[in-house]
């Protein structure tokens, strides 16, 4: 496979000292990462790292994602080793990196938050709705679920968002399920099992899975089985280390839609858990995103070609084109 080199901007708790120009990290898949400091900020601090990772990919169109995933695995280990944060912010530049190649394709990236600039729709009516909820004195577990709902909105990786939202759903389910014991059902016919020798019916406390399925049923009605199955496939896959692509294949749905579906379920589960009278409900103003909870970014790229005519296997930094991309957003469009 062809070789590519991609530079990423990475914020971190640790940077190189001023005597060290570069550090090198290699993995078993022959991906090599070079760590260097980004430019100093106005206070003379290093605000981020620039990590340049080199490795193979099927094509230049697939290289950025493949190298990002490889770098993320390296940073998982580095975080475990150092107890420090390392967060990939955005790709900077991608270059064909086969030795001796003369004509080289490259890409330069610019990444921005899809919700920037902010919309000018924050209104007193939303704050008044917050006061109504607060005056209802939500129980402690609802407050905790609200916290993880907010954390889910803040995360920028869909799989991380999913796990935050799922925790909020579990919190609601665990605190909403009946404490009364129920019969143990036959896995085939679903009828209550009994012991002929003792003439008793074994019982157990309802499990979290059943409580979650019950919440989904209340919210979605006839569609609950299909939705529940899809959400548990995603949950079990992420909890057991499956790849996002394999989860999407089993769910027959992009992870972004799975996250949006789960977030909507959590929102309704929290809503159903807060006790309000009809007058209070009539005063509420809710929602703004039309069911869009998953984080989205806008990535613009410029494709280019340059010549490497030197005798060295690769061009020097000075001979690699530097292109700066800027984007302007019109919030009124």
Region 246-258: what's the mean pLDDT? 97
pTM of the model: 0.80
Q: Would you say residue 21 lies in a domain? A: yes
- The predicted structure's pLDDT at residue 205: 64
Does residue 68 sit in the same domain as residue 144? Answer: no
Q: Would you say residue 50 lies in a domain? A: yes
Does residue 85 sit in the same domain as residue 215? Answer: no
- The predicted structure's pLDDT at residue 227: 97
Top mean-pLDDT range of 119-133, 192-206, 280-294? 119-133
Q: What is the DSSP letter of 209?
A: H
Work out the angle at residue 319's Cα, subtended by the Cα atoms of residues 11 and 7, and round it to the nearest 5 degrees. Answer: 20
Burial class (CB in 10 A: 0-12, 13-18, 19+), 108: buried
- The predicted structure's pLDDT at residue 330: 55
Closest to 101 measured CA to CA, from 274, 315, 281, 246? 315
- The predicted structure's pLDDT at residue 171: 96
User: For residue 129, what are the domain limits?
Assistant: 124-180+207-283
- Residues whose CB is less than 8 angstroms from the CB of residue 322 and which lie 6 or more positions away in sequence, other chains included: 108
* Percent with pLDDT over 70 in the chain: 94
Does residue 140 sit in the same domain as residue 257? Answer: yes
Q: Would you say residue 194 lies in a domain? A: no
- The predicted structure's pLDDT at residue 35: 98
Task: Give the integer Cα–Cα distance in Å for 325 and 9.
Answer: 15
Half-sphere exposure of 42 (CA within 13 A, CB side): 0
Does residue 83 sit in the same domain as residue 129? Answer: no
Task: Give the integer Cα–Cα distance in Å for 252 and 246.
Answer: 10
Closest to 32 measured CA to CA, from 3, 12, 64, 55? 55
Residue with tokens 């998953």: 294
- H or E segment to which residue 6 belongs: strand 3-12
Q: How confident is the model at residue 333 (pLDDT cuts 50, 70, 90)?
A: very low
Q: Would you say residue 199 lies in a domain? A: no
Span 228-248, pLDDT tens digits: 999 999 999 999 999 999 999
Residue 188 predicted with pLDDT over 90: no
Q: Would you say residue 197 lies in a domain? A: no
Q: Would you say residue 325 lies in a domain? A: no
Q: Would you say residue 151 lies in a domain? A: yes
Question: For the chain, how many structural domains are there in total?
Answer: 2
Provide the β-strand partners of residue 36: 50
Q: Would you say residue 34 lies in a domain? A: yes
Span 80-95, pLDDT tens digits: 999 999 999 999 999 9
Instruction: Say which residue, 44 or 182, is predicted with more confidence.
Output: 44
Residue 331 predicted with pLDDT over 60: no
Does residue 163 sit in the same domain as residue 81? Answer: no
Does residue 17 sit in the same domain as residue 130? Answer: no
- The predicted structure's pLDDT at residue 328: 61
């Amino acid at each position: 496979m062809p070789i590519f080199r991609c530079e990423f901007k990475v914020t971190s708790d640790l940077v190189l000292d001023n005597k060290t120009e570069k550090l090198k990290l290699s993995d078993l898949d022959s991906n090599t990462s070079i760590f260097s400091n980004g430019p100093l900020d106005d206070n003379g601090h290093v605000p981020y790292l620039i990590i340049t990772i080199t490795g193979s990919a099927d094509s230049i169109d697939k290289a950025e994602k493949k190298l990002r995933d490889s770098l993320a695995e390296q940073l998982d280990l580095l975080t475990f080793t150092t107890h420090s944060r390392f967060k990939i912010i955005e790709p900077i530049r991608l270059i064909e990196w086969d030795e001796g190649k003369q004509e080289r394709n490259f890409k330069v990236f610019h990444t921005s938050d899809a919700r920037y600039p902010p919309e000018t729709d924050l209104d007193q009516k939303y704050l008044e709705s917050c006061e109504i909820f607060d005056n209802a004195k939500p129980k402690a577990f609802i407050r905790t679920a609200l916290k993880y709902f907010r954390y889910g909105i803040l995360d920028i990786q869909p799989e991380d968002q999913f796990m935050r939202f799922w925790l909020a759903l579990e919190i609601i389910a665990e605190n909403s399920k009946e404490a009364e014991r129920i019969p143990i059902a036959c896995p085939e016919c679903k009828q209550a099992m009994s012991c002929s020798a003792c003439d008793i019916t074994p019982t157990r406390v309802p499990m979290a899975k059943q409580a979650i399925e019950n919440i989904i049923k209340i919210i979605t009605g006839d569609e609950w089985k299909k939705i529940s199955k899809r959400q548990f496939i995603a949950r079990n896959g992420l909890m057991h280390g499956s790849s996002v692509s394999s989860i999407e294949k089993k769910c027959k749905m992009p992870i972004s839609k799975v996250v949006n579906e789960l977030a909507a379920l959590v929102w309704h589960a929290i809503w159903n858990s807060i006790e309000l009278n009809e007058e209070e409900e009539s005063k509420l103003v809710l929602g703004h995103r039309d069911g869009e909870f998953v984080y989205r970014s806008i990535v613009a790229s410029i494709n280019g070609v340059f010549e490497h005519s030197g005798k060295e296997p690769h061009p020097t930094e000075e001979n690699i084109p530097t292109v700066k991309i800027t984007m302007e957003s019109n919030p009124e469009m």
